[in-house]
Structure 1
């Protein structure tokens, strides 16, 4: 019965493990191996009965692999750098039945995790699987693209936008798009990437009626405002549900740079 991966079974691999894991069940060792990218130990744990957890509502070894962080309480990595193969770990897990779109208790898929924490190499790895859900929404309604844009990961945004089935204007539970969150975060480089994509609505409004320009102006993010105003078709006089424009929000919040002539003229002359 493959219920316990014991010291004798690990043989010389026991020397590579943190003491807390030397006698443990296969699933716990599998999760550790995934966290440090140890393909050999992943295969060993699978051979000893580490099974796929429930598809819905459970953090899985695929999530752990996407996070690239060692498990709590296991200390440093015991895997020599030349033996780390995270792409191989992900492939082995998927081939053994671990679902590429498994969701955690918060509705996060492994792709969400990799996109949020800027692991571009693993984003590329997950996207190699044809059935990966590139538009999956977590329980906040955020897609991997929204998370990457919100946290300023421009390379990942570019990769995700290159896929035909991406929908860059997917919205979260607040009705906000990737462009809106990029503006909120002050990521003008992502504004440039998104603004150059033909399917992005640069004047999209959220449930408060706010555009990306309104958010940037209300926060005093001059570089983002500059970038947005440079986009063809931008509508600077759009009003939110309170009837306020980007310029009026800047005035309300006292953002003098945005109230300066070069911005005010641009916003009122279109």
Structure 2
């Protein structure tokens, strides 16, 4: 067998050629070698020259074998982006003689822009990075992250108004929803970012949108407790008594159940919220406030005309509910109110 290299008479000029760098990506380098002799192999494989590719360790400057065999190409994978790598080829004869090629160097390419880069730019509020990614055109602006949130949803939730404007100018859909049905407007309302709320409204976001539970942006704003946002939303025309799909709760009912925020409740009532509305179980905001021991809200609702005589589907009134759940302060408040109510005088019948 005529081996490709005269091992016994090895000189610098007769050393194997370095491996040829072919395709390079951000995580792989493809190497080729001995291309001119590939077609001349004869006889059984054990009589062929064997090839090894060795990679240099940049810290110790020693070489380790990453491939051994009879092929004439190898793809080195699992590499770091934008990194220089050095390789050499070792050619061995069946008798054990071997020769090394000069070193071949190659650098991996820059990591391609992905949705992770897009969301990373939004998370750290990096305007320049976001603009560069979007101008590159390789990432869709509405691709969701692992939590199902678009970049706009994240920016709206965090209150990054400049990023919201950049994303909208690059074609993001303001009405997309996450897995629970919330859109960017709902997230901004709950978080209290009025500038973002105004901008989203000016670019097609709707007050009529509902999440999977049937809640509107006003429900979420009421939960968030940000009065300046609630006040602007009401002036902008959102429906004050929209009911959710589960319990039939209005935003005022949500306040009664969740936060007990008196200031938010006042804004809702001033905008026309029905203080005596009933949910699907027959409960009023006053009943819900009593059950959740929101004493100041109970006082407000009574001042605004809540009917303490209304009973639920089981025939229970607010005073009975307060006693059953041992809401002592609320019981005292309700009893005091009842004593203050003028007694109805008997009206003589007309014959």
Q: State the alpha-carbon separation in 1 of the partners of residues 303 and 130 from structure 2.
A: 50
User: Which of 132, 139, 142 matches 1:53?
Assistant: 142
* Contact in 2 for aligned 1:87/1:122 (Cα 8 Å): yes
Q: Residues 1-270 of structure 1: matches in 2 within 5 Å?
A: 23=111, 25-48=113-136, 49-53=138-142, 58-68=148-158, 86-129=160-203, 131-164=204-237, 166-172=238-244, 173-184=246-257, 185-198=259-272, 200-231=273-304, 233-260=305-332, 262-267=333-338, 269=341
* Contact in 2 for aligned 1:204/1:212 (Cα 8 Å): yes
* Contact in 2 for aligned 1:36/1:68 (Cα 8 Å): no
| 1:134-169 per-position Cα deviation (integer Å, ceiling 9, x unaligned) | 2311111111110121232222211211112x1111
| 1:183-216 per-position Cα deviation (integer Å, ceiling 9, x unaligned) | 1221111111111113x11211111111110011
Q: How far does residue 58 in structure 1 lie from its aligned partner after superposition?
A: 4.2
* Contact in 1 for aligned 2:174/2:200 (Cα 8 Å): yes
Q: Equivalent residue of 1:205, what SS?
A: coil
Listed as ranges, the gaps of 5+ residues in structure 2 are: 1-24, 27-79, 83-109, 343-351
Structure 2 CA distance for partners of 1:114 and 1:24, relative to 1, 3 Å: farther
Q: State the alpha-carbon separation in 1 of the partners of residues 112 and 218 from structure 2.
A: 37
Q: How far does residue 226 in structure 1 lie from its aligned partner after superposition?
A: 0.6
Q: State the alpha-carbon separation in 1 of the partners of residues 275 and 320 from structure 2.
A: 19
* Contact in 2 for aligned 1:237/1:267 (Cα 8 Å): no
Q: How far does residue 109 in structure 1 lie from its aligned partner after superposition?
A: 0.3
Greater fraction strand: 2
Q: State the alpha-carbon separation in 2 of the partners of residues 53 and 128 from structure 1.
A: 19
Structure 2 CA distance for partners of 1:150 and 1:228, relative to 1, 3 Å: same
Q: TM-score, normalised by structure 1?
A: 0.77
* Contact in 2 for aligned 1:27/1:45 (Cα 8 Å): no
Structure 2 CA distance for partners of 1:115 and 1:7, relative to 1, 3 Å: farther
Max Rg structure: 2
- Runs of 4 or more, structure 1, over 6 Å off, are none
Q: Equivalent residue of 1:44, what SS?
A: helix
Q: How far does residue 235 in structure 1 lie from its aligned partner after superposition?
A: 1.6
Q: State the alpha-carbon separation in 1 of the partners of residues 296 and 161 from structure 2.
A: 37
Structure 2 CA distance for partners of 1:24 and 1:136, relative to 1, 3 Å: same
* Correspondence for 2:102: none
Q: What do you get for the CA RMSD once the two structures are aligned? A: 2.6
Q: How far does residue 267 in structure 1 lie from its aligned partner after superposition?
A: 4.9
Larger RCO: 1 or 2 (CA < 8 Å, sep 6+): 1
Q: How far does residue 182 in structure 1 lie from its aligned partner after superposition?
A: 0.9
Q: How far does residue 35 in structure 1 lie from its aligned partner after superposition?
A: 2.5
Q: State the alpha-carbon separation in 2 of the partners of residues 176 and 24 from structure 1.
A: 48
Listed as ranges, the gaps of 5+ residues in structure 1 are: 9-21, 70-85
